[in-house]
Amino acid sequence: MDRVEFTKEMRKDYTILVPNMLSNHFKLLIKVFANAGYNVELLKNEGRSVVECGLKYVHNDTCYPALLVIGQMIDALQSGKYDLHKVALIITQTGGGCRASNYIHLLRKALKKAGLEYIPVISLNLSGLEKNSGFSLTLGLIRRLIAAMAYGDLLMLLANQVRPYETNKGAADALVDKWADTLVAEFDNGKGFAKSVMRSYMERITADFAAVPLDRTRKCVKVGIVGEIYVKFSSLANNHLEEFLASEGCEVNVPGLMSFILFKVDNRMEDIKLYGGSKAKFAVCKALFDYLSGIEEIMIETVRAKSSFNPPTAYSHLRELIYGIEGYGCKMGEGWLLTAEMLELIEGGYGNIVCAQPFGCLPNHIVGKGMIRRLRELHPESNIVPIDYDPGATRVNQENRIKLMLSVAREKMVSDDTAGTQRAKKDDKEPALV
C-alpha cells in the first residue's frame, strides 16, 4: 500500500494526533515535540465508542491494543473536531515482530476503509523503518524524550507509594500536577535535560513527595501490575485498573517505562551477539544503552536516599533475576522482561500481581500466564492473577477476579499479622539468658 509522506510543508500547519498510553509521561513527551516545532495533540477520547470504532475498522482477530489504538485515532478523526486535510497521525515502530512494528500497516488499511487514506501516518522509530521529510528524530530530541520519560517514571513511582497513605486526600495527585507543570515550563525554557540538572530536579521532586503527611498505620495490600505494555499502562485498555485497585485500598506498583526502553535497546545488542551483525550498530546501541542506564541510576540513587520509598529496580538486576528461568533470546513483545518484572515485584514485597493479558497477544500469554506456574514453584508466597482484556470481556468479570485475588491477599495479611503477634508474645514470656 502506498503511503502518504509527512512533508516539510505539512509540518507548518498540520496537527499530529498522538494515541494515549501514559497521561503524565505523555504530557511531558508532547511538550518535547512541541518545543521541537511540531504541533501535537494527545488524544483523550475513550469509552465504548473507541472499542466499537476499532471493531469496525480492524479485524476482530487482531490483538486488543491494536484495536484500541486504531479505534481511538479513527474515532477522533470522525468526531468533527479536526480539519481532516490538516491532520496527521503518529505511531511507534520498534522493528520487532509485534504490535509496535505492525500496527502502522493495520492503521493505514483502516484509514483506507474509512475513506481517510489521504491522512499521513508518521512512524516513530529508531530503526530507520520509514522516513518522512517533515519529521525526524535528532540526537537532541531523543535526549529530551528520554528525560521526559524518566521524569514520568519517577512521578508515577512516588505517587503510587504516597497515595494510599496520604492524610490529605489528593495530595499525591496535586504534586504530580505541580511537577508536571513545572517541568513543562522548564522544557519551554530549554532546561531540565542535562544529567546534572535532572539529578537536581529528581531530588527536589522526591523531597516534595517525602514531605507529604502520611498515615503508615494503614494496612494496604501491595499489588503489582505487569503485562503487555499498552494494556499494562493504558487506562483505556485496562478499564482504569490502577484507579480500581486504589479504590480497594491497595498500594500499587507499576514497573516503569525505562526498563522497557532499555530492554528494546538491549535486544538489538543481543541480536548481534546471537546472530552476528554490524559492529557500528552495536556501538551505537551500546552508547544509547549506557546513556539510558546512567539516567536510570540517577533516579534509583535519588529515591534510595529517602528511606521512606522503595527505589525502582535496575535493569541489570532484572537480567540477573531471569537468569536460568528464561533465555535472553526470548524477546518477542515484552519477552523475558515481563517475567522478570513479576520476579522484581515478588522480591520487593508486591507478590500480589495482576498480569494484564490482551486478547490475541501470543507472546504475552507465553511469558505472562505461561510462566505463572513456574513462578509459584519458585515463590509459593506469590499471588498472581492473569486478567484478559478484549472487546467481549466485561469490566465486572475482570474486577470480580481481581477482588478474589485481593481477598486471598487480605487473608494472608491477617494470618501474617497474627503469627507476628504470637511470636512477639512468646518472646516476651521467655526468660532472659544470663
Q: Mapped to the 3 state alphabet, what secondary structure does 389-407 carry?
A: ECCCCCHHHHHHHHHHHHH
Q: pLDDT digits over 194-212, tens only? A: 998 999 999 999 999 999 9
Q: Give the domain-ending residue among 116, 135, 154.
A: 135
Rg value, the chain, Cα: 23
Query: Cα–Cα–Cα angle for 281, 149, 244, nearest 5°?
Result: 130
Q: Give the domain-ending residue among 90, 114, 135.
A: 135
Contact in structure between 10 and 124 (CB atoms under 8 Å) = no
Residues 126 and 236 in one domain: no
128 in a structural domain: yes
172 in a structural domain: no
- Residue 320 confidence (pLDDT): 96
For residue 390, the cross-strand partners are: none
Residue type, 299: M
Concatenated DSSP letters of 255-324: --HHHHHHHHHHHHHHHHHHH---HHHHHHHHHHHHHHHHHHHHHHHHHHTSTTSPPPPPHHHHHHHHTT
Residues 374 and 239 in one domain: yes
Question: Which residue segment(s) compose the domain that 432 sits in?
Answer: 220-255+313-434
Q: Give the domain-ending residue among 78, 112, 135.
A: 135
| CATH at residue 15 | 3.40.50
Residues 87 and 227 in one domain: no
Residues 228 and 98 in one domain: no
273 in a structural domain: no
Q: pLDDT digits over 394-409, tens only? A: 899 999 999 999 999 9
Residue given cell 489521504 in the structure block: 118
Q: pLDDT digits over 237-265, tens only? A: 999 999 999 999 999 999 999 999 999 99
Contact in structure between 205 and 324 (CB atoms under 8 Å) = no
Strand pairing class (87-92; 15-18): parallel
Residues 240 and 388 in one domain: yes
Q: Could you tell me the three cell numbers for 127? A: 530503526
Distances (CA, A) of 294 to 277, 314, 362: 26, 11, 33
Residues 89 and 225 in one domain: no
Q: pLDDT digits over 279-302, tens only? A: 999 999 999 999 999 999 999 999
Contact in structure between 159 and 177 (CB atoms under 8 Å) = no
Q: Report how many domains make up the chain.
A: 2
User: Is the confidence at residue 433, as pLDDT, over 60?
Assistant: no
382 in a structural domain: yes
- Residue 125 confidence (pLDDT): 81
**Mean pLDDT of the residues in the chain:** 91
User: Is the confidence at residue 434, as pLDDT, over 50?
Assistant: no
